[in-house]
Amino acid sequence: MAESPLPRALRFLGPPIAAVYASVMARRNRGFDAGRGVVEIDRPVISVGNLTLGGTGKTPLVKKIVRELQVAGRRPAIAMRGYAAKAGLSDEAVEYAAACDGVPVVAQANRLEGLLDLFASSEGKEVDVVVLDDGFQHRRIARQLDIVLIDASKQPLRDRVFPAGTLREPLESLARADWAVVTHAESVRAAELAALIKQLSAIGGGIPIAIARHAWSSLRVIERGCERVEAVGWLRGKRVVAACGIGNPDAFLAGVRAAAGVSVREFVRPDHDPFSVATTGHLLNLAQSEAAAAVVVTAKDWAKLRRVRPEAWPCPVVVPELDLTFDQGWDSLQSAVLAVHVDPGE
């Protein structure tokens, strides 16, 4: 069972607070179900969200969907809440901007307002579909396709609503989604995965379910300001420091251990950690003292760490390119993605 995110000494407060939180969420959802506060925009919307706190694979799925739309000749935009950044875009927005060439990224708390501002611009007039990042609970914007991700590694059937557990909503909320994607299939046994899929389908009223696993496709290696692409095997046998500030570090760290195959020193920070000057200094010192052959970081964290002077790094920095590979369901989900539209009469 996923542990409560509360400090251990306060976890006894989790269940009563969770009951209040669940009640508030239920009342809020009833309002949205009735159409109160929901705004229709003049472009189709694809929402990608999740039911649990922390990383489930939203970012690689959003990137995959955006690329599919581009290949089909569509002109997507990405809308996300964004997290506070001292200057410029947030780390997720920077990652999207780098990975999705030419795709406008709206990153602000009021996503509706940001999208309307975008549509009023010359760039925004070309946009014909919106991909909403982390949109399952952001119900103010109506959507034509609602995709929710579920992390198999977090044993969702045994999880509880925040803050007693890591669920943002009860699993029964699956019933309002159009598709579910179970991620991190590589983290559970086949029999356990099959049982999970069967129960989630029942809970979601027969909702179609795709199964995906996280996999590294290649490595971006940054050395003295120059960048190159290497195969994942480049890390094999190297002594590395794995650094991250993400919601689900276990999967990333497991990937580093699997790729390097030898001693890995971990440098784990809280989700969305800004990697301050002091924190970055500790990381650089650790890499130096460990005589590391590489520092491995996530793409989100590299968006913040790239400000470090190239000569300050004692070794190359490695950013794995993370992809979702589907065991089942992608062809049908892809068809649903490419079919989104807004009826002329709406």
Q: What's residue 57's pLDDT?
A: 87
Q: Which amino acid is at 249?
A: P
Q: What is the pTM of this model?
A: 0.87
Q: What's residue 54's pLDDT?
A: 73
Q: Which amino acid is at 94?
A: V
Tokens read off for 65: 């969907």
Candidates 24, 25, 3, 23; CA nearest to 14 is 3
pLDDT at 212 over 90: yes
pLDDT at 263 over 90: no
pLDDT at 21 over 70: yes
Q: What's residue 342's pLDDT?
A: 67
As beta bridge partners, residue 179 has 147
pLDDT bracket for residue 248 (50, 70, 90): confident
Query: What mean pLDDT do residues 253-269 have?
Result: 92
pLDDT bracket for residue 8 (50, 70, 90): confident
Q: What's residue 103's pLDDT?
A: 95
- Average pLDDT over the chain reads 90
Alpha helices in the chain (DSSP H): 14-33, 58-71, 91-99, 111-119, 190-203, 249-260, 277-289, 299-305, 330-338
pLDDT tens sequence across 150-194? 999 888 888 888 888 888 899 999 999 999 999 999 889 999 999
d(CA 81, CA 96): 13
Candidates 56, 66, 88; CA nearest to 246 is 56
Query: What mean pLDDT do residues 15-34 have?
Result: 89
Q: What's residue 90's pLDDT?
A: 65
pLDDT bracket for residue 84 (50, 70, 90): very low
The DSSP annotation for 249-268 comes to HHHHHHHHHHHH-S-EEEEE
Query: What mean pLDDT do residues 261-269 have?
Result: 91
Q: What's residue 92's pLDDT?
A: 75
Least confident of 41-50, 108-117, 155-164: 155-164
pLDDT tens sequence across 275-294? 999 999 999 999 999 999 99
pLDDT at 87 over 60: no
pLDDT bracket for residue 146 (50, 70, 90): very high
Q: What's residue 85's pLDDT?
A: 45
Q: What's residue 1's pLDDT?
A: 58
Q: What's residue 187's pLDDT?
A: 87
Radius of gyration (C-alpha) of the chain in whole angstroms: 21
Q: What's residue 112's pLDDT?
A: 94
pLDDT bracket for residue 259 (50, 70, 90): very high
Give the residue with greater pLDDT, 52 vs 292: 292
Give percent of the chain above pLDDT 70: 95
Q: Which amino acid is at 97?
A: A
Q: What's residue 345's pLDDT?
A: 47
d(CA 81, CA 32): 19
Best mean pLDDT range from 80-94, 227-241, 330-344: 227-241
pLDDT at 105 over 60: yes
Tell me if 218 sits within 8 A of 321, measured CB to CB. Answer: yes
Q: What's residue 264's pLDDT?
A: 93
Query: What mean pLDDT do residues 94-111 have?
Result: 87
